Amino acid sequence: MNGSAVDPDLTGGAAPEMKWLCQSAADKVSPEDAQAQFLLPVDSEGKNRAEASLERARDLNPMVDVKADQEDVEQKPEEFFTQFDVVCLTCCSQEVLMKIDQICQKNGIKFFAGDVFGYHGYMFADLGEHEFVEEKTQPVKARQPMEDRPDAKKAKLDFMETTMVKKRMAFCPLKEAFGITWSTEKGQATLKRTTPDYFLLQVLLKFRTEQGRDPSLRGYAEDAELLLQTRLDVLEALGVGADLLPDDFPGRCFSEMASVCAVVGGVLGQEIVKALSQRDAPLNNFFFFDGLKGNGIVECLAPS
């Protein structure tokens, strides 16, 4: 999903409302967008992303009231976000993600973020102190009359009993998830088992902040060099080795792959429904997907 989506109450009662935003008036449909965005009609190039996607988004579920908002999400006041139960951001800078995440945490709003860069995609969730219920099944011994039991010493297990168990899970803000100190003994131990995609994400977000855009195929050679330099800057600032990301990593970070969008978008949507319904354990707190390997990994990264 392009732009920034804000998802409100889906838990029941009146028909839910979804408000769809674009980051700025300059957020127009590009030729690359049509390759990964099935909500865009073929004649959408040059139009506002949110407005162009609106009709097909409404067709997905007539019970949901979908609205488009072309205002810059960075200019929205804090009060704007407090009307929602869930806020989900895409295509935003790291600074905007952190700012709105802090607003959501302050007001008890569940926060999600996600993006796709070439073969790589991620999802982040900050649900604060999240309560949910989970089904627990256990075998129940069947009682039979003695004359019906060939062996009175053997208990027959022929059905399961299901109970609902209340649980609680704590999340941390994105700012803290990106603020881990890797130089400590515990940090070094965590580093050994942390996926490189976590560091790749920070490189790509820094590129987005500095260039005001994502890597573009139209300037592939130049942007590939910029990504390599950004890698050195980010990993040096974090105090980790530059070899965490190989020299050929830029070639896998351009455009949006439709298949990767499908997986990451599916996981993101699933997690939002789980968070609102408070059913089943949520993913805490990062999900990374590698389209080349065809696998995803959940990382719980937070300061001590």
pLDDT digit string, tens, across residues 51-89? 998 999 999 888 888 888 888 888 999 999 999 999 999
Instruction: Confirm whether 303 is domain-assigned.
Output: no
Give the per-residue pLDDT at 36. Answer: 74
Long-range contacts of 97-101 (CB under 8 A, 24+ apart): 97/124, 97/174, 97/205, 98/173, 98/174, 98/175, 98/178, 100/73, 101/126, 101/173, 101/174, 101/175
Give me the pLDDT at residue 137, please: 85
In this structure, what CATH number is given to the domain that contains residue 111? Answer: 3.40.50.720
Q: Quick one: 38 and 112 in the same domain? A: yes
pLDDT bucket at 224, cuts 50 / 70 / 90: very high
Q: What is the pLDDT of residue 12?
A: 41
pLDDT in tens, 118-148: 999 999 999 999 999 999 887 776 655 555 5
Residue with tokens 């982040």: 124
pLDDT in tens, 153-170: 555 555 778 899 999 999
Residues 6 or more apart whose CB falls under 8 angstroms from that of 104 comprise 81, 87, 110, 111, 126
Q: Is 91 within 8 Å of 265 (Cβ atoms)?
A: no
Indicate if 124 and 259 belong to the same structural domain.
Answer: yes
Residue 36 lies in a domain: yes
**For the chain, what percent of residues have pLDDT higher than 70?**
85
- Range from 62-76, 214-228, 281-295 carrying the lowest mean pLDDT: 62-76
Yes or no: say if 120 and 260 are a contact pair by the CB < 8 Å rule.
yes
Count how many domains the chain has.
3
Question: Cis omega before residue 285 (within 30°)?
Answer: yes
